[in-house]
């Protein structure tokens, strides 16, 4: 059979294709039932990250549903997947959730791009949010940007030291202090670790410490605690105004910090070069590490034999937590991190979204999350002062005083500046640090090269010279904002 096709013009073909597209678009709504469901104010869709807080928050959801009559659709993703999913939804202008977990490093980007809304108006109208109960250093580090509170903290992390009581006692090493002390310096920390080098404990080889070597985020998260302690700044002027993003990685504080981190790696298991966050924690929980420092959730995560397994580790009852060491003569700065909840501007359910955030970050819910016994009691990452003084909670979490003391010295804006384009800088710094751990390169030369790469990236991202309006993003500004919103 032959078919004559000569009669088909391009216009006809275009008409046909357009028709097919029209038919396709007509069926579009059928393919997006979740979007339709989102219009219902009786449903709140929450997109979270699978950090320790998620599990206890999930367990409390039935309480919220019972109290409000609003059903919660809770979904969790890994860190990278969450960021990719959120940004894809924002760019496509789709309503993917009513509440989202926001890392402090994403806050400026999301707010500047109009992807999440400011919570200032909600908070100002809210009589019982008790804003003054939040630790100001946490709100400053994780939740404020350009005079706006855009998120509220659901889990706040500082960094602290964990050590084996039995090991330090056997080798006659003094117990580290629970409060910041002029005597507890990085040199003192290193000396204590060096005295464990080459030792055996319980008939097995002992490693004095463990670090994260994996690039980019894990190694940068751990290293920047040392650099912040030594007063190292990433940029010429940030967060104080006017912002100037010329990188400052060649200063002596950076070089000294690299030297310390290299020393720490030499005292760690060699395979730590590939360790990510939980690898370092679970290695300590295995029992062959003397002392290390890490995010405060690990104060309790190491009670488990693996990450969030709920199975008790061999070191339960044998370890304690202590303050971070400081650099001699430099005011201590602690790295702050954690997770917060925000409302996407694309959500049609912003009121209900805020109600969920208020509930999840409230003192009552956070306390219930802390008292949730599953997984061996894993949530004490409070951003509220009152919970650090709650005797019932303190009975379960014995290191709350250390956590709170570290939080009060926290400054997330200096340690890892949440500036637009941060991740590209973190990639380069993470790679440099990773190479410095295993190689013999001169830290000064490597940091100069990295500084050059930073300049190139920042210029490429139109950050040098900075063309937008600066903002004096200081703790005192944040405190003034908290006070203003709390009073109104």
Partner 1 sequence: MSVQTVLAPQAEKPVRPSFVRRYLPYLLIAPSVIMLLSLIAYPLLFALRSSLYFWNLQIAPQPLTFVGLANYVQALNAFDFRDALVNTLVLSVTGTAIEFAFGLAIALLLLKALPGMNVVRALLILPTTIAPIVVGFLFRYLYDPGGGLITWLLRVFGAPVPPMGLLGSPTTALAAVLFADVWQWTPFFAIVLYASLLSVPDEIIEAARLDRASPLTMLIRIKLPLIRRTAVIIAMLRFMQLFNTFDTVLVLTRGGPGTSTRTLGYSLYEQGLINFNIGLVSAMTWITVLIVNVIVALYVSFAFRNEEW
With CB under 8 A as the contact rule, the residue among 16, 198, 205, 373 that binds partner 1 is 16
Task: Tell me if 71 sits within 8 A of 43, measured CB to CB.
Answer: yes
With CB under 8 A as the contact rule, the residue among 141, 142, 215, 365 that binds partner 1 is 215
| Binding of residue 77 to partner 1 (CB under 8 A) | no
- Whichever of 402 and 446 has its CB closer to partner 1, that residue is 446
| Binding of residue 445 to partner 1 (CB under 8 A) | no
- Whichever of 116 and 402 has its CB closer to partner 1, that residue is 116
With CB under 8 A as the contact rule, the residue among 422, 470, 479, 486 that binds partner 1 is 422
Measured from the CB of residue 145, what is the shortest distance to partner 1 in angstroms?
A: 14
Q: Which stretch binds partner 1 (CB under 8 A): 224-232, 241-249, 327-335, 417-425?
A: 417-425
Task: Tell me if 274 sits within 8 A of 247, measured CB to CB.
Answer: no
What's the rounded Cα separation, in Å, for the pair 434 and 262? 10
CA 25 to chain centre: 40
Paired strand residues for 205: 200
| Binding of residue 402 to partner 1 (CB under 8 A) | no
Tokens of 455: 């300049």
What's the rounded Cα separation, in Å, for the pair 97 and 375? 28
Measured from the CB of residue 386, what is the shortest distance to partner 1 in angstroms?
A: 36
Task: Tell me if 235 sits within 8 A of 413, measured CB to CB.
Answer: no
| Binding of residue 391 to partner 1 (CB under 8 A) | no
With CB under 8 A as the contact rule, the residue among 54, 56, 70, 83 that binds partner 1 is 83
Q: Which stretch binds partner 1 (CB under 8 A): 334-342, 406-414, 434-442, 478-486?
A: 434-442
- Whichever of 19 and 317 has its CB closer to partner 1, that residue is 19
Measured from the CB of residue 214, what is the shortest distance to partner 1 in angstroms?
A: 6
Task: Tell me if 202 sits within 8 A of 417, measured CB to CB.
Answer: no
Binding to partner 1 in span 251-290, by CB under 8 A: 269-274, 276
Task: Kindly state the DSSP code that residue 344 receives in the 8-state scheme.
Answer: B
- Provide the H-helix boundaries in 197-315: 217-229, 252-266, 277-286, 298-301
| Binding of residue 313 to partner 1 (CB under 8 A) | no
| Binding of residue 474 to partner 1 (CB under 8 A) | no
What's the rounded Cα separation, in Å, for the pair 36 and 32? 7
| Binding of residue 18 to partner 1 (CB under 8 A) | no
| Binding of residue 193 to partner 1 (CB under 8 A) | no
| Binding of residue 31 to partner 1 (CB under 8 A) | no
Does residue 335 come out as left (phi exceeding 0), alpha (psi in the -120 to 50 range) or beta?
A: beta
What's the rounded Cα separation, in Å, for the pair 45 and 63? 16
Beta-strand pair 144-145/148-149: antiparallel
What's the rounded Cα separation, in Å, for the pair 287 and 277? 17
Nearest in space to 288 (alpha carbons), one of 269, 272, 275: 269
| Binding of residue 91 to partner 1 (CB under 8 A) | yes
What's the rounded Cα separation, in Å, for the pair 334 and 144? 18
Tokens of 129: 């949010």
With CB under 8 A as the contact rule, the residue among 233, 309, 461, 474 that binds partner 1 is 461
- Whichever of 99 and 463 has its CB closer to partner 1, that residue is 463
Q: Position of tokens 């013009």?
A: 9
- Whichever of 83 and 178 has its CB closer to partner 1, that residue is 83
Binding to partner 1 in span 94-123, by CB under 8 A: 109, 112-115
The binding site for partner 1 (CB under 8 A) comprises 3-5, 7-8, 12-13, 16-17, 20-21, 80, 83-84, 87, 90-91, 109, 112-115, 213-216, 269-274, 276, 420-424, 427-428, 431, 434-435, 437-439, 453, 460-463
């Amino acid at each position: 059979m032959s078919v004559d096709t000569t009669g088909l013009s391009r216009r006809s073909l275009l008409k046909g294709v357009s028709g097919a597209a029209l038919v396709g678009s007509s069926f579009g709504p059928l393919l997006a039932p979740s979007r339709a469901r989102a219009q219902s104010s009786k449903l709140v869709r929450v997109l979270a990250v699978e950090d320790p807080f998620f599990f206890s928050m999930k367990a409390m959801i039935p309480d919220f549903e019972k109290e409000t009559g609003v059903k919660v659709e809770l979904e969790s993703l890994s860190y990278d997947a969450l960021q990719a999913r959120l940004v894809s939804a924002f760019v496509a202008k789709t309503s993917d959730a009513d509440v989202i977990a926001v890392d402090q490093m994403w806050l400026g980007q999301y707010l500047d791009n109009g992807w999440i809304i400011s919570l200032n108006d909600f908070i100002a109208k809210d009589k019982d949010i008790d804003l003054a109960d939040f630790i100001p250093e946490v709100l400053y580090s994780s939740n404020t940007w350009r005079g706006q509170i855009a998120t509220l903290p659901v889990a706040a992390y500082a960094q602290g030291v964990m050590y084996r009581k039995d090991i330090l006692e056997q080798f006659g090493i003094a117990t580290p202090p629970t409060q910041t002390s002029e005597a507890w310096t990085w040199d003192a920390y290193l000396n204590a670790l060096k005295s464990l080098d080459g030792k055996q404990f319980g008939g097995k080889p002992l490693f004095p410490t463990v670090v994260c070597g994996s690039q980019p985020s894990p190694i940068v998260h751990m290293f920047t605690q040392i650099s912040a302690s030594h007063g190292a700044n990433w940029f010429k002027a940030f967060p104080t105004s006017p912002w100037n993003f010329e990188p400052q990685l060649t200063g002596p504080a950076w070089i000294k910090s690299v030297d310390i981190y290299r020393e720490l790696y030499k005292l760690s298991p060699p395979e730590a070069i590939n360790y990510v966050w939980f690898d370092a924690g679970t290695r300590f929980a295995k029992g062959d590490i003397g002392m290390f420092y890490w995010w405060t959730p690990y104060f309790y995560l190491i009670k488990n034999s693996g990450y969030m397994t709920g199975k008790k580790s061999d070191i339960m009852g044998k370890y304690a937590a202590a303050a971070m060491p400081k650099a001699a003569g430099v005011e201590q700065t602690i790295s702050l991190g954690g997770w917060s909840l925000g409302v996407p501007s694309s959500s049609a359910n912003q009121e209900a979204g805020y109600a969920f955030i208020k509930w999840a970050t409230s003192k009552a819910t956070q306390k219930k999350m802390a008292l949730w016994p599953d997984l061996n009691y894993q949530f004490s990452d409070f951003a509220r002062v009152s919970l650090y003084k709650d005797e019932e909670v303190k009975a379960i979490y014995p290191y709350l005083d250390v956590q709170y003391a570290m939080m009060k010295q926290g400054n997330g804006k200096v340690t890892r500046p949440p500036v637009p384009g941060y991740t590209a800088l973190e990639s380069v710094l993470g790679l440099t640090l990773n190479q410095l751990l295993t190689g013999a390169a001169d830290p000064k030369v490597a940091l100069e090269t990295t500084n050059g790469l930073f300049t190139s990236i920042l210029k490429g991202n139109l950050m040098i010279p900075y063309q937008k309006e600066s903002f004096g993003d200081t703790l005192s500004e944040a405190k003034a904002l908290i006070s203003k919103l709390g009073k109104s």
